[in-house]
Amino acid sequence: MAKIIEKINWLISLISWNLKNWRRNRILERESISDSIWQKVLKQFKFLHVLTHEEKIRLRQFVILFLHDKQIVGAHDMEITEEMRITIAVQACILILELDVAHYDDWVEIIVYPGKFILDYDYADEFGVVHHAHKVVSGEAWLAGPVILSWLDAAGFDSRPSDNVVIHEFAHKLDMRHQGANGFPILHANMNAQIWCDIFSKAYAGFCARVNKGKENTIDSYASKSPAEFFAVFSEVFFETPLVVKQDFPAIYEQLVLFYRQDPAGRWGKSKLKN
Ligand SMILES: [Zn+2]
């Protein structure tokens, strides 16, 4: 009996895998993005310059699939152009380049504000006490809900070299797939949860201690706000300026390589050898 159930489950997963591929191929056959906009957007982000030809092809396919499934809407009647859609999608898809677009399947909407926006809401803490939050932010990701972005920041007009609000918010989205945002995303079969927790807890404690003593960190001190922010900020730096993470936090770098299945610092090394 167990063997029959195993075989049925195998058949179901094979059929759903084939259906998923059939649907994706149909979307890729019918939809495309303009070459000129694609090249313009690629030029804008240094971390995309070092991708191989094959990686750029896959990224472009992921961007098409991503844009097919997501609704990107402007707040305050802001018009969202094709270039803006691709600018956001390309940064969101770099995180899942070696994973799968299905990692963003559990939600649909991206709301874009022209610039930074105000969040004004009540929330209950772990003890049930209700607090009021009022803050100016460049991005926000809601559990099973939308990602909200400031266009000025998402386009990179208003940020430092290692900052990337799109990567930050989409890292939260990946993190949220496992028990909410807590810096402990769903790990792959070849990863060890205990090792992840040990390495991240130790690095987070050390990072917070430095911030509390007022010492300089090579990475934005906002990472000390919570383990979830630590994971999101380190994901930004991992893609934008990976050598900083590799040199100053090698154990974290190794875990992020395993999680994202990418080695961004290695890409920079290879591209230097080519030039
Ligand atoms: Zn955050």
Gap between the Cα atoms of 128 and 236, Å rounded: 32
Sign of the C-alpha dihedral, residues 222, 223, 224, 228?
positive
Distance 151 CA to ligand 1 centre (A): 16
236-263 mean pLDDT: 97
Tell me the per-residue pLDDT of 129-170, one tens digit each, with 9 for 90 and over. Answer: 787 878 888 999 999 899 999 999 999 875 677 789 999 999
Distance 263 CA to ligand 1 centre (A): 23
Distance 67 CA to ligand 1 centre (A): 23
Gap between the Cα atoms of 28 and 67, Å rounded: 11
Tell me the per-residue pLDDT of 3-55, one tens digit each, with 9 for 90 and over. Answer: 888 888 888 888 888 888 899 999 999 999 999 999 999 999 999 999 999 99
Distance 272 CA to ligand 1 centre (A): 32
- Report the length, in residues, of the chain: 275
Distance 236 CA to ligand 1 centre (A): 10
174-203 mean pLDDT: 95
Distance 157 CA to ligand 1 centre (A): 19
Distance 179 CA to ligand 1 centre (A): 16
Domains and CATH numbers, the chain: 31-274 (3.40.390.10)
Residues flanking ion ligand 1, Cβ below 5 Å: 229, 232
The number of angstroms, rounded, from the C-alpha of 209 to the middle of its chain's C-alpha atoms is 26
Distance 232 CA to ligand 1 centre (A): 6
Tell me the per-residue pLDDT of 61-105, one tens digit each, with 9 for 90 and over. Answer: 999 999 999 999 999 899 999 999 999 999 999 999 999 999 999
Distance 77 CA to ligand 1 centre (A): 25
Residue 271 has pLDDT above 90, yes or no: no
Residue 240 has pLDDT above 90, yes or no: yes
Gap between the Cα atoms of 247 and 200, Å rounded: 16
The one-letter amino acid at 128: G
Predicted confidence at residue 211, as pLDDT, reads: 93
Distance 26 CA to ligand 1 centre (A): 35
Residue 171 has pLDDT above 70, yes or no: yes
Predicted confidence at residue 272, as pLDDT, reads: 67
Residue 273 has pLDDT above 70, yes or no: no
Distance 117 CA to ligand 1 centre (A): 14
Residue 275 has pLDDT above 70, yes or no: no
Residue 218 has pLDDT above 90, yes or no: no
Predicted confidence at residue 100, as pLDDT, reads: 92
Predicted confidence at residue 7, as pLDDT, reads: 84
Distance 172 CA to ligand 1 centre (A): 7
Predicted confidence at residue 244, as pLDDT, reads: 94
Gap between the Cα atoms of 65 and 101, Å rounded: 7
Distance 204 CA to ligand 1 centre (A): 15
Rg (CA), the chain: 20
Predicted confidence at residue 193, as pLDDT, reads: 97
Mean pLDDT, the chain, rounded, equals: 91
Distance 152 CA to ligand 1 centre (A): 17
Most trustworthy range by pLDDT among 115-124, 137-146, 249-258: 249-258
Residue 126 has pLDDT above 80, yes or no: no
Q: What secondary structure, in 3-state letters, does the chain show?
A: CHHHHHHHHHHHHHHHHHHHHHHHHHHHHHCCCCHHHHHHHHHHCHHHHCCCHHHHHHHHHHHHHHHHHCEEEEHHHCCCCHHHHHHHHHHHHHCCCCCCHHHHCCCCEEEEECCCEEEEEEEECCCCCEEEEEEEECEEECCCCCEEEEHHHHCCCCCCCCCCHHHHHHHHHHHHCCCCCCCCCCCCCCCCHHHHHHHHHHHHHHHHHHHHCCCCCCCCHHHHHCHHHHHHHHHHHHHHCHHHHHHHCHHHHHHHHHHHCCCHHHHHHHHHHHC
Distance 148 CA to ligand 1 centre (A): 11
Sign of the C-alpha dihedral, residues 257, 258, 260, 262?
positive
